[in-house]
Amino acid sequence: MGKKKHKRFNAHKRQSAGIPPVNQEEESDVLTGSLPGAVAGVLEQLQSGEEATRECGCGTVAALALQPGALPVLFGANVVRVLAPLVVDPSPCVRHRALGALRNMTVEGGAPVCEDMVEKDVLTALMALFKQYGTGWEVEEDKTKGKVKKHTDTKLGIFTEAVHVLLNLCEASDAAVNAFNRDKLLPDLLPCLQYSMYGYPLATVVAQCLHTVTEGNQEAVKYCRRDSVLPSLLALVQQTHTSSQGMLFQATLLGILSNVLGEELLTGPVLGSAVAIFKQILEIDVTAGIVEALGKCEQNGVSVNGGGDHESSADEFHVPKPDSAFSDLVNVIDSQRLCIELITNMCCSPDDDWEDVDSSGSGSSDELVADVDMEQDNAGDSFNPLCVPSEVHAAFIASDIVAKVVKSSCPIPAEMLERIKARTSGKQVLSKLTRLRTSALLCINNMVDAMETDALGGIDALHHLWDALAQQVQQPDPAASGQAASSSHDPSSHTESDLLEAMTSAMRAIIQKLVQLNSPKFAEVSSADVQFLVKMAEGAGSSVQVHIMRTVAAIATLLVRTQPEHNVVQDVGSFLVTVAGQSHDLVVVAEALDALFDVFSDDATDPVARRLCLTERLTSILPQLKAKVQSQRKSLGENYITVSTSKTNLIRFIKYKESTSKS
């Protein structure tokens, strides 16, 4: 126990918008009536022989999908089965709006709805649409001007929308990925990465889709490693991209290559190019970008809170636009977040697993638990071995990657965030800023765990980073404040709890590294320092509590080496035994007990243990723990062995302490 798994990032669901309804007056009429009645009317529209009526029906479904509680009604009426075939409707307008409605459903409903859509055979029509395009299809051009048409119902617009739907389905459903493989879509999608022909919007969403489907997909990886494919991917990623759209495209291409090359990315010739891209993208000053975007909004007179410019062209359906000034900033934030997540994965072996429990084993918990010498100093057992190759260390140091990630973890000034909130796109931008910080903090966790101290800036830099995080964690993030995953239309949005978990994860890693280094500054630690952490744990989620318990336990374990009766040792012991006796979460109880074993395994702590009545209190906890483990055996799932192991170790710990007190 006490070992923690390196955090790895997978491809994330992106925020999507779908296609707005054609006739806002008709939409309003539908939404003001009863939902079942509206759905019945929509079904008639979708099956109409009139193109305009089908188009209107698709637009209404797109709007209904955004309404709270509407999706269960839509799915209960089997709207998806009627809507899906319209993806290959003879009318381009109907196709586009049908795809927009499906896209809204995938975003609003998340993974459960996506899986249901796959079961309702959405993929048959979607795959048929892709096959109509084939490989290497040409973009329609305006013959008079020689430019790509702006009308959204072109082949390009429809194909782009279809890839968005496919991306969301593949992120949520293994069956969708299997269908992707079965219908051999890779040859059809790979040419669309040619941004010079298809433009960045399509090339980027195709890259995002391939980033998703190549993850753990050996069939797709094998195809991408072909001599006819891999050199093209490498050439694309090494091209210079100066626009914000281009940078996002380039970062996503790196994600694909990370999936395709695996460990080869860490030591092969691509490493230099990857780190150079990280450096270029992470050097962009997001704060300066916010100032510039806000200045453009104020200069252009963009209205506040839901106003926004309106397109003058009927092709854009007269739908309010978000603050266009923020589009580049959003691309930069997404690019930086993706680069940081790739860096995080580079500091984590693909086969990292829980080091102390083999969940695939069989037999009783007693058979799985090795005898423990309670007098052994376990302080060093909580550290994973360094897992970053020397080539990566050198590249990160040369490009100052650690400092750039740390900068991305810092909060934006509160005054600036208030100005962002006043913009039409404020909620989206704030969500992305919080997500960027969260990813950066989790990256810090992995870098601290996996890299050498010198590569992290030295022991003083680690102390400085700890102090900065300790200050930040006491101040709620204005960007995350008020966000709730359950109410957000963006399933990937991060809340204050996500951010707090990431902060405490990074703080835990830093403290454990400093303990490993036997930092002399721990001699200055006081009870007030511990109480600050204990207070943070109150009312926090289980992951945050675990990080805090491991943090204070690491501090106490180091103090035990030289000052076993230090006040902090007693404070930590009191905190841990209280959590073990009062928490309703058995995983938290198990972690509290294991932290206690680490701190009080040394006989030198026996005087503190007696003052805490530790053995007596643990003895009273044992019957409750046994009963809870037995009653929750099935619901604990993969955590059962972990919890059962702690129970077994508790019995041994009590017996050991009782024997030492008698001798």
pLDDT given for residue 661 in this prediction: 72
DSSP 319: P
pLDDT given for residue 386 in this prediction: 63
120 exposure class (CB count in 10 Å sphere: 0-12, 13-18, 19+): middle
pLDDT given for residue 295 in this prediction: 86
Please name the residues in contact with 658: beta carbons below 8 A apart, sequence gap of 6 or more: 615
Backbone phi, then psi, for 576, in 5-degree steps?
-70, -40
DSSP 312: S
In this model, does residue 571 exceed pLDDT 50?
yes
Closest CA to 61 of 44, 394, 222: 44
Across the chain, mean pLDDT equals: 84
Q: Average pLDDT in the 108-137 region?
A: 93
pLDDT given for residue 379 in this prediction: 41
pLDDT given for residue 36 in this prediction: 76
d(CA 464, CA 330): 30
Beta bridge partners of 310: 320
Q: How far is CA 407 from the centre of its chain?
A: 19
The band of 308, judged by pLDDT with boundaries at 50, 70 and 90, is very low
Could you report the per-residue pLDDT of 505-529, keeping only the tens digit for each?
Answer: 999 999 999 999 999 988 888 999 8
Q: Average pLDDT in the 477-495 region?
A: 48
148 exposure class (CB count in 10 Å sphere: 0-12, 13-18, 19+): middle
User: Could you tell me if 220 and 214 are in contact, meaning their C-beta atoms sit under 8 angstroms apart?
Assistant: yes
User: Taking the C-alpha atoms of 227, 228, 233 and 239 in order, what is their torsion angle to the nearest 10 degrees?
Assistant: 100
d(CA 474, CA 257): 39
Weakest mean pLDDT among 301-315, 516-530, 574-588, 622-636: 301-315
Could you report the per-residue pLDDT of 328-380, keeping only the tens digit for each?
Answer: 999 999 999 999 999 999 998 655 443 333 333 344 444 333 344 444 444 44
pLDDT given for residue 366 in this prediction: 42
d(CA 384, CA 4): 8
| Distinct helix (H) and strand (E) counts, the chain | 34, 0
**Radius of gyration of the chain from its Cα atoms, rounded to whole angstroms:** 28
d(CA 371, CA 652): 9
Q: How far is CA 326 from the centre of its chain?
A: 22
How far the first Cα of the chain sits from its last, in Å, is: 28
User: In this structure, what token pair is assigned to residue 157?
Assistant: 């617009």
94 exposure class (CB count in 10 Å sphere: 0-12, 13-18, 19+): buried
Q: Average pLDDT in the 595-600 region?
A: 95
User: In this structure, what token pair is assigned to residue 75?
Assistant: 């799915």
pLDDT given for residue 434 in this prediction: 93
Please name the residues in contact with 461: beta carbons below 8 A apart, sequence gap of 6 or more: none
Sign of the torsion formed by the C-alpha atoms of 293, 296, 301 and 302? negative
Weakest mean pLDDT among 19-33, 78-92, 394-408, 452-466: 19-33
pLDDT given for residue 617 in this prediction: 95
User: Could you tell me if 516 and 554 are in contact, meaning their C-beta atoms sit under 8 angstroms apart?
Assistant: no
Q: Average pLDDT in the 244-256 region?
A: 97
Closest CA to 401 of 463, 477, 330, 346: 346
pLDDT given for residue 385 in this prediction: 54
Alpha helix segments (H runs only) across 194-326: 195-198, 200-213, 218-224, 230-238, 244-261, 264-267, 270-282, 286-300
pLDDT given for residue 162 in this prediction: 97
Alpha helix segments (H runs only) across 120-199: 122-133, 155-172, 174-182, 186-189, 195-198
Closest CA to 356 of 596, 551, 645: 645
Cα distances (angstroms) measured from residue 263 to each of 250, 266, 584: 20, 6, 41
Query: How many other C-beta atoms lie within 10 A of the C-beta of residue 121?
Result: 13
User: Could you tell me if 215 and 181 are in contact, meaning their C-beta atoms sit under 8 angstroms apart?
Assistant: no
pLDDT given for residue 28 in this prediction: 46
The 3-state secondary structure of 603-652, one letter per residue = HHHHHHHHHCCHHHHHHHHHHHHHHHHHHCHHHHHHHHHHHHHHHHHHHH
pLDDT given for residue 457 in this prediction: 92
Q: Which residue has the higher pLDDT, 307 or 538?
A: 538
Cα distances (angstroms) measured from residue 75 to each of 95, 136, 387: 20, 36, 47
The share of the chain scoring above pLDDT 90, in percent, equals 64
pLDDT given for residue 418 in this prediction: 85
Phi-psi category of 216—alpha, beta or left, where left has phi over 0 and alpha has psi -120 to 50? left
In this model, does residue 487 exceed pLDDT 50?
no
The share of the chain scoring above pLDDT 70, in percent, equals 81
The band of 579, judged by pLDDT with boundaries at 50, 70 and 90, is very high
DSSP 138: P
Q: Which amino acid is at 654?
A: I
What pTM was computed for the model? 0.86
User: Could you tell me if 599 and 374 are in contact, meaning their C-beta atoms sit under 8 angstroms apart?
Assistant: no
Cα distances (angstroms) measured from residue 583 to each of 74, 350, 503, 535, 550: 41, 33, 22, 15, 16
The band of 419, judged by pLDDT with boundaries at 50, 70 and 90, is confident
